[in-house]
Amino acid sequence: MGAYSEVLPAAASRKQQALDFISEYILEHGRSPAMREIALALDVSDTRAKALVKKLAFEKMIERAAGAQRAITVPGLLERQLLDRMRQLGVVVNEDFANADRVRPLPQGHLPLVAILEHIPDVDAGDLHATPTY
């Protein structure tokens, strides 16, 4: 078995395992893995690894540069990693508001009350320094 194979869940599809491995490898090493590394990690043949990568590219789950062996990118990987890290630090991001069950209520008890104005004074648009008349 490959070095990463014990990390990958057995119930996940090979395609998802390949995507997870590629994503983790890019985050850890700063570059994409070679086909041989993917094959070893998934405990599959080189031909099967190439087929999985080709399928991921066809389904737009990864992007590949033509003719380059280590030119796999995962669209949105860095953004997802940053958002996950921000959430770990307790930051609420925009997407969290769509999933209200994951959002902690905002602390509002200590906020000052806003004064309600009954009348907004007229100010001459030509003289911004004029004293308003009530």
Q: What is the pLDDT of residues 18-42, one digit of tens each?
A: 999 999 999 898 889 999 999 999 9
Q: How many CB atoms lie within 10 A of CB 70?
A: 13
- Phi first, then psi: give them for residue 64, nearest 5 degrees: -130, 145
Confidence grade of residue 71 (pLDDT, cut at 50, 70, 90): confident
Say if CB 73 and CB 32 are below 8 A apart.
Answer: yes
* Percentage of the chain lying above the pLDDT 70 cut: 60
Span 97-133, pLDDT tens digits: 666 555 555 555 555 666 666 766 666 656 556 565 6
Q: Could you give the maximum distance between any two Cα atoms of the chain, in Å? A: 84
Dihedral sign of CA atoms 68, 70, 74, 76 in order: negative
122 forms beta bridges with: 133
CA distance linking residue 134 with residue 119, whole number of Å:
9
The structural domains of the chain, with segments of one domain joined by +, span 1-92
Q: Would you identify the CATH topology of the domain 1-92?
A: Arc Repressor Mutant, subunit A (1.10.10)
CA distance linking residue 1 with residue 5, whole number of Å:
6
Token pair, residue 86, equals 């921000």
